[in-house]
Every structure is written in C-alpha cells, then in structure tokens.
C-alpha cells in the first residue's frame, strides 16, 4: 500500500486529530518549560561580592589597628597604609607600570605561543590513537613537573635572556593546553559521533561540525589552566632569573623589593600579581566560559558567592 493512500485515508479525522494533538502538546509544553524565575543578575552578583569585600575591609582595619597599637618593627610588619604608600610611589615612579606591562606582555605572548603549539599537538594526539597512547602519559607526566625546575636548565641553555622566561612558560602551559584538548575530544559523548555519522557527515564534517564544538568546554578548561600555569611559571622565572638582559617584570620587582628589604613593596607586588590573576580570569576567561556553558545549558543558575 503506497504511503499516499494511508495518508489520505481519512483526511477529516486526521485534521481533527492534529488540532487536538496541537492543543494538548502546547498545554504540556507550557507546563514543562515554565518560567524559571531566577534572582536578578545584579542582586546575585552583589550577594556574591559584598560579603568578601566586607571581610577584606574588616581584615584591613584589624591589620591597621594592630600596627597602630602594637608598634611592630615597620620593616617586618608594615601597615596597610604603608603598603598603599608604597603602591603609590611605585606607581608614580613608573616602576610598577613598567613591571606590570612587561610581565603581562610576556605572560600573554608566552600563553599565545603555548596555544599555538599546544592546539595542533592536542589535535594530533586526539586524532592519532597510537600517538596518544605513547605520548599522552609523557605529557601528563610533564604536568606533574614543577615548571620552575626548568629554570636552571633554561638559564644554562639561553642565558639570562627573555628566551629563558618564554621557555619556562611554555614548559608550564603547553602540556595543560594539549591535555585539555585531548580530554575534551575524549569526553565528546559517543552518541554525538553516531548522530553525525547517521546524518551523513563526512570525516571532515564530523570533526568540524560535531567533535570540535563538542570538545570546546574541555579545551577552554585547558586554556584556563594553561594561563594559570603560564602566569605561575612566569613569576617563578622572573624571580629566579635576575640580571643579564632580562627585562623588568613583576617577579623582578618582587625580588628587587626583597633585596632592598622593602616588605611594603613586596606586599604591593604580591597584591598586584593576585589582582592581575583575578582580573584576567574575570575579564578574559569567565565571560567566554559562562557564555559557552550557558549556551549548552551546563551553567546551573547558582549564586555567584556559593
């Protein structure tokens, strides 16, 4: 019996059935996709930001009170105001901006080079099975090695130059990025691959339309960790490799402040390093990640401050 015959058998009953079904489904859909009333974004962020800010202020006040009341040795326990003054003078003298710019530039450049190396390597590992089985454990092993351990070797190879710094940054970041991509591809649900195949995708289409987009969250996590490792390794390298033709970064400033026995400047630099870490996380990675996860419904609408 050809399909047309079936379809036309009782057009009137059919039409009635359709309208009825349409109403029923609309009713059910309305019930099941109800308004998920969430707290407003601003209030949520405020709720997350206010308590730690208050805590920080309280801690600062307690610290200042301690320095005023207990009169500790100012070179061993400077007060918050001393640190603020040190920050001001480091900023106006131009030392701090130079250090921030140098370090940021190195960190970003090193990270980009690491991405440029780690991404194709990750793709290669994800695609070529025997390579992954052989090289994968080595790369995971490299992640265990503190990248600071490369500093002495790098100094011997490249001398006290920027190449040393970049080498150390790469040894820290590349394994993370590569591993992130590989595990991202590995975690693509096999179901999605099957769907692609069933829909008739070619090998290339499967890779570009299905696997890579699906592996994106894992890749992003790898990038984030890669940045964290870049920044850590950079600071370590800058602190250790002073002298030679190495430019003046935050690590150098830290080391310099130590040599001048200037604890206020050391704390200023530590706070700057922390601030940059948090700002990069908030400005560069968090929005991309949030957007990506939200589009996939992976972001549960929880309070920020949980």
**74 touches a copy of itself (CB under 8 A):** no
Residues 6 or more apart whose CB falls under 8 angstroms from that of 68 comprise: 79
CA distance 66 to 62: 6
**200 touches another protein (CB under 8 A):** yes
Residues 233-262 that bind another protein (CB under 8 A): 242-245, 247-248, 256, 258-262
Interface residue with another protein among 12, 33, 144, 306 (CB under 8 A) is 33
Interface residue with another protein among 87, 95, 118, 173 (CB under 8 A) is 95
Nearest residue to 192 via CA among 266, 296, 49, 85: 296
Per-residue binder mask for a copy of itself (CB under 8 A), 96-135, x = binder: ----------------------------------x-xxxx
Closest to a copy of itself by CB, 141 or 213: 141
**197 touches another protein (CB under 8 A):** yes
Interface residue with a copy of itself among 83, 169, 263, 289 (CB under 8 A) is 263
Q: Which 8-state DSSP code applies to residue 189?
A: -
Closest to another protein by CB, 63 or 158: 158
CA distance 57 to 50: 11
Q: Is 7 helix (H, G, I), strand (E, B) or coil?
A: helix
Residue 26 CB, nearest approach to a copy of itself (Å): 32
Nearest residue to 182 via CA among 127, 235, 223: 127
CA distance 272 to 278: 10
Under the phi-then-psi rule, with left for phi > 0, alpha for psi from -120 to 50, and beta for the rest, what region is 159?
Answer: left
Interface residue with a copy of itself among 141, 213, 244, 287 (CB under 8 A) is 141
Stretch of 1-9, 16-24, 206-214, 256-264 lying at the interface with a copy of itself (CB under 8 A):
256-264
3-state secondary structure labels for all residues of 82-120: HHHHHHHHHHHCCHHHHHHHHHHHHHHHHHHHHHHHHHH
Per-residue binder mask for another protein (CB under 8 A), 121-150, x = binder: ------------------------------
- What's CA 178's distance to the chain center, in Å? 14
**203 touches another protein (CB under 8 A):** no
Closest to another protein by CB, 138 or 198: 198
Interface residue with a copy of itself among 24, 157, 197, 295 (CB under 8 A) is 157
30 binds, among another protein, a copy of itself, none (CB under 5 to 8 A by kind): another protein
Please identify which residue in the block is written with the tokens 């490249």: 158
Size of residue set near another protein by CB under 8 A? 77
């Amino acid at each position: 019996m050809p399909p047309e015959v079936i379809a036309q058998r009782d057009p009137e009953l059919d039409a009635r059935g359709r309208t009825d079904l349409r109403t029923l489904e609309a009713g059910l859909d309305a019930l099941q996709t109800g308004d998920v009333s969430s707290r407003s974004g601003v209030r949520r962020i405020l709720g997350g930001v206010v308590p730690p800010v208050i805590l920080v202020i309280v801690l600062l006040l307690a610290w200042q009170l301690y320095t005023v009341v207990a009169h500790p040795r100012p070179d061993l326990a400077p007060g918050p105001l001393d640190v603020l003054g040190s920050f001001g003078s480091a900023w106006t003298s131009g030392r701090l901006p130079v250090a921030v710019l140098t370090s940021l530039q190195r960190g970003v450049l090193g990270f980009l080079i690491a991405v440029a190396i780690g991404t194709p390597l990750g793709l290669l590992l994800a695609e070529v099975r025997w390579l992954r089985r052989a090289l994968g454990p080595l790369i995971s092993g490299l992640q265990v090695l503190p990248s600071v351990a490369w500093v002495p070797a790098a100094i011997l190879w490249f001398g006290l130059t920027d190449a040393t710094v970049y080498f150390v940054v790469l040894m820290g970041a590349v394994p993370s990025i590569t591993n992130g991509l590989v595990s991202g591809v590995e975690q693509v649900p096999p179901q999605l691959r099957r769907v692609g195949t069933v829909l008739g995708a070619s090998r290339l289409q499967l890779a570009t339309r299905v696997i890579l987009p699906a592996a994106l969250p894992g890749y992003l996590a790898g990038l984030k960790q890669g940045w964290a490792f870049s920044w850590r390794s950079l600071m370590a390298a800058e602190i250790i490799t002073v002298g030679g033709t190495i430019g003046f970064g935050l690590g150098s400033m830290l080391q310099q402040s130590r040599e001048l026995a200037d604890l206020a400047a050391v704390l200023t630099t530590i706070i700057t390093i922390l601030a940059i870490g948090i700002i990069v996380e908030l400005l560069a990675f968090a929005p991309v990640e949030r957007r990506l996860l939200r589009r996939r419904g992976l972001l549960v609408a929880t309070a920020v401050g949980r």
